[in-house]
Amino acid sequence: MPRPLWAGAISFGLVTIPVKIVSATEDHDVHFHRVHLADMGRVRTRKVCELDDQVVSQDEIGKGYEVSTGETVTVTDEELEQMPLPTAKAIEIVAFVDADSIDPVRISDSYYLAADGQVAAKPYTLLRKALERSSKVAVAKFAWHGRERLGLLRIREGAIVLHSMKWPDEVRNPQELAPGAVEVGEEEIEQALQLADRMTIEDLAGFHDEYRQALEDIIAAKSEGKPLPSPAGGEEKGKGEVVDLMAALNASVKAAKDSRGEDGEDATVHEMRPAKKAGGRTAPAKKRAASSKTAAAKKTTARSSSAKKATGRKTAAKKRSAS
């Protein structure tokens, strides 16, 4: 089991569940050191006091809050631990809400809650089963890393998961970021929905970090003295380039079908510019389709008539030669 990050208890009414917080994710990023390029020596961050320009050790560093210019108040770790806060050592469940009512923007880091000892087994299982049988999630408050946080408890594969959440006033209003009124045709919406349907999958397990893989390939090549991998092809589109939206959607649908081995003949659903008759008038789609079918039928009839005439000539020639 990974190293516990916090130990306390879940407070659920009069039920107390001793738990430990364990990180639910792992860091697979490639981390670099800052080095002096001349001799590859490590370059480290020095903690220097700005008043006397002296390097200070970690045990000489504390927390301070500037209440006004030139006036700073220090707060010790012991004072923070002794704050009269009910959530100081507890994840206090304060409400239950429908899972669909939670805005994903508010969800931050995720952690597993491990039962801390045999005494926690039964109440832990009780809370887990209660959440599993309902469509609700538990909203909780807890204090961690020097502040009180809002949390969300739900179940994942038999374990209780704690999601750290943003407070309501920490989420910015996105309305000012949305574009102004723009007209989008129903054909474009339907084609976008068809593209979304073609790209729908049931499992994200197949995705992986291609950037990290490429970075590891570069590091491996440099360490072994080999040439660096060739850069990926493809031209970057201009930032202000205007594209034909429907044509792009049609091409995207066809590409999605081809990637799944499906027949892409019906990928193009609508024409962007209808065909025109002589005189500049636009021919209705139904008439164009009907005229196409009539022309095809006439060609088929003409071929059949020619075949019948040829057969008749051959039969007559055989009769004359026989007589």
| SS3 (DSSP) at 36 | strand
What are the residue boundaries of the structural domains of the chain, listed by start? 6-26+65-170, 185-200+243-272
More confident residue, 5 or 81: 5
Structure tokens at 67: 């209440």
Q: What is the pLDDT of residue 153?
A: 96
Residue 68: is its pLDDT beyond 60? yes
Q: What is the pLDDT of residue 256?
A: 77
Residue 137: is its pLDDT beyond 90? yes
Residue 86: is its pLDDT beyond 80? no
CB distance 288 to 275 below 8 Å: yes
Mean pLDDT calculated for residue range 177-204: 86
Q: Measuring CA to CA, which residue among 200, 204, 203 is closest to residue 253?
A: 200
Which CATH architecture fits 6-26+65-170?
Beta Barrel (2.40)
| SS3 (DSSP) at 189 | helix
Half-sphere exposure at residue 299, Cβ-oriented, CA atoms within 13 angstroms? 6
Torsions phi, psi for 147 (to 5 deg): -160, 155
Q: How far is CA 183 from CA 100, 179, 187, 244, in A?
A: 30, 11, 12, 15
Residues 7-60 pLDDT 10s: 888 888 778 899 998 888 788 888 889 999 999 999 988 899 988 999 999 999
Helices (H), 105-209: 121-132, 186-198
d(CA 315, CA 189): 62
Q: Measuring CA to CA, which residue among 140, 182, 186 is closest to residue 163?
A: 140
Sign of CA dihedral 13, 15, 17, 18: positive
Q: What is the pLDDT of residue 320?
A: 47
- Angle among Cα 305, 309, 312 to the nearest 5 degrees reads 140
Q: Which amino acid is at 306?
A: S
Q: What is the pLDDT of residue 111?
A: 94
Mean pLDDT calculated for residue range 226-251: 68
Pairing, β 6-12 against β 15-23: antiparallel
More confident residue, 130 or 304: 130
pTM of the model: 0.60
CB distance 2 to 22 below 8 Å: yes
More confident residue, 232 or 264: 232
Q: Measuring CA to CA, which residue among 148, 131, 134, 135 is closest to residue 102?
A: 135
